[in-house]
């Protein structure tokens, strides 16, 4: 894994409109790293992700994402930041009146692609990467939920992003499809893109252990890696990152190891 930081946050605050949802956020994510972002609904996970791609402005601390200083970024530079970030949504957000290929071409044109041969080549590459090379002519409604999410991942990979943000990417999927999406996202991280995945599905973390950060009571806490042994048991030296017992009643500080 490279030591290059794709995300470097220090003491930032995250606001949703005028409401403070997270404070004193510190987070470094390296190239090729896979990180889970967990927390209950309303604790700021999606707001943090939106801050990383410039939808919610940051006002304090320091924040560098894919080489861009988010506190001083110019509005004209935000589209260039987003070309370095792939975004995968829970609800797919595919254009329902266009084929898979037309969805991908739309993104390419919107992000500055002009050469038709290059566009065709890249479209075929990303469809092959997600295992749907024969589905380009299909309409979104002709695909299963798992296939639609794979198309969303293909769309996110178009511009060879340094960072992939996945916001509850398995939230609308059955267990088999969820496992397939997890394997695909892990492959993406191994290929060099950093992945930050917000999830409520702690069963996935049991099967695909990794680094975990958590939003709780307005605070942002990093938790040590959680592993499972071959029998499915947990490393007894690790506190349970999903239990509120790991925190004091105020939730301000993490008190486990």
Instruction: Report if residue 70 sits inside a domain.
Output: yes
pLDDT score for 254: 29
pLDDT score for 243: 54
Instruction: Please state, in angstroms and rounded to a whole number, the distance separating the CA atoms of residues 240 and 189.
Output: 25
pLDDT score for 52: 95
Instruction: Report if residue 231 sits inside a domain.
Output: yes
Instruction: Report if residue 119 sits inside a domain.
Output: no
pLDDT score for 231: 36
Instruction: Report if residue 103 sits inside a domain.
Output: no
Residues 61 and 235: beta-carbon distance below 8 Å = no
The CATH code of the domain that includes 70 is: 3.40.50.300
Q: How many helices (H) and strands (E) does the chain have?
A: 7, 10
Burial 95-129 (b: 16+ CB within 10 A, else e): eeeebbbebbbebbeeeebeeeeebeebbeebbeb
Q: Which portions of the chain are predicted below pLDDT 70?
A: 1-3, 224-257
Specify the number of domains making up the chain.
1
Instruction: Please state, in angstroms and rounded to a whole number, the distance separating the CA atoms of residues 222 and 213.
Output: 4
pLDDT score for 225: 57
pLDDT score for 62: 96
Provide the domain limits for residue 178.
Answer: 5-90+163-246
Report the alpha-carbon angle 207-209-215, nearest 5. 115
């Amino acid at each position: 894994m490279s030591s290059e930081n794709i995300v470097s946050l220090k003491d930032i605050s995250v606001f949703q409109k005028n409401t403070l949802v997270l404070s004193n956020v510190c987070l470094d994510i390296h190239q090729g790293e896979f990180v889970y972002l967990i927390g209950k609904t309303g604790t700021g996970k999606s707001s943090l992700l939106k801050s990383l791609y410039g939808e919610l402005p940051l006002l304090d601390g320091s924040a560098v994402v894919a080489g861009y200083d988010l506190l001083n970024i110019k509005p004209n530079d935000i589209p260039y930041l987003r070309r370095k970030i792939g975004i995968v949504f829970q609800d797919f957000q595919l254009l329902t009146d266009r084929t898979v290929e037309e969805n991908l071409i739309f993104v390419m044109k919107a992000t500055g692609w002009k050469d038709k041969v290059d566009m065709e080549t890249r479209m075929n590459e990303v469809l092959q990467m997600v295992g749907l090379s024969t589905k380009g002519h299909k309409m979104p409604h002709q695909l299963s939920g798992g296939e639609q999410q794979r198309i969303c991942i293909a769309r996110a990979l178009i511009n060879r992003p340094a960072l992939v943000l996945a916001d509850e990417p398995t939230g609308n999927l059955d267990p088999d499809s969820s496992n397939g999406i997890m394997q695909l996202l892990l492959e993406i991280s191994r290929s060099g893109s950093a992945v930050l995945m917000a999830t409520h599905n702690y069963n996935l973390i049991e099967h695909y252990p990794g680094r975990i950060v958590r939003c709780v009571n307005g605070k942002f806490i990093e938790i040590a890696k959680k592993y499972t042994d071959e029998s499915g048991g947990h490393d007894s030296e690790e506190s349970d990152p999903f239990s509120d017992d790991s925190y004091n009643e105020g939730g301000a500080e993490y008190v486990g190891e």
